[in-house]
């Protein structure tokens, strides 16, 4: 297990260094995108006026409140990534992001897309929405707010050491979830093979 500290935009060589089990702390621009934002990106292409190459896409629907002219983020924990699984390969290709942050893992189509696009999936612990807001820092920008509403809009943050984030799918085609599934199956087979009586 190796600890990495990156500032976005992340260099391709840095992504290649990541292996499952590594820990990442991330600073710089990070943006949110959930189901409807993914669909909007697939429909419309890159986000106008926002260069996403080398950035981190965070599966998150923050709880926000406007105070005067500024947005106040009340909670910004990760949402379940599997919901975006069918959409992620196309979004990765379209936006050129290098890191996906979420919880719960993603499937084999996304794993193949991560390898093809030299990107990695990082897992954030669930239930830390209030703590995450401190590490994400201030809102820098927001896109599709009128069309999608505050939860589904694309929010841009200037993060400061967001983490620990655990590499659970790397750019070499390795998945922590496949490892856990394989080990679980081995243990189940071993248990079922025990003869009683």
Catalytically active residues are 38
> What per-residue string of b and e applies to 143-152 under the rule 16 or more CB within 10 Å gives b?
bbeeebeebb
Give the integer Cα–Cα distance in Å for 162 and 61: 16
Which is nearest to 95 in space by CA: 143, 159, 149? 143
Q: What is the DSSP string of 138-197?
A: SEEEEESHHHHHHHHSEEEEEEEEEEEEEEEE-TTS-BHHHHHHHHHHHHHHHHHT----
């Amino acid at each position: 297990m190796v600890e990495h500290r990156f500032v976005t935009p992340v260099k391709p060589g840095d992504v290649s260094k990541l292996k499952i089990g590594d820990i990442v702390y991330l600073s710089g621009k990070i943006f949110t995108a959930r189901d409807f934002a993914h669909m909007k990106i697939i429909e419309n292409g890159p986000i106008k006026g926002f260069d996403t190459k080398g950035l981190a896409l965070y599966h998150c629907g923050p709880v926000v409140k406007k105070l005067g002219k500024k947005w106040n983020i009340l909670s910004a924990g990760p949402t379940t990534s599997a919901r975006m699984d069918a959409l992620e390969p196309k979004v990765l290709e379209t936006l050129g992001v290098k890191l996906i942050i979420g919880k719960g893992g993603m499937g084999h189509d996304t794993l193949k897309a991560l390898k093809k696009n030299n990107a990695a999936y990082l897992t954030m612990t669930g239930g830390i929405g209030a703590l995450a807001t401190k590490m994400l820092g201030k809102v820098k920008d927001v896109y599709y707010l009128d069309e999608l509403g505050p939860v589904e809009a694309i929010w841009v943050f200037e993060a400061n050491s967001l983490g620990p984030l655990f590499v659970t799918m790397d750019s070499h085609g390795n998945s922590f979830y496949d490892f856990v599934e394989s080990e679980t199956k081995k243990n189940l087979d071993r248990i079922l093979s025990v003869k009683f009586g």
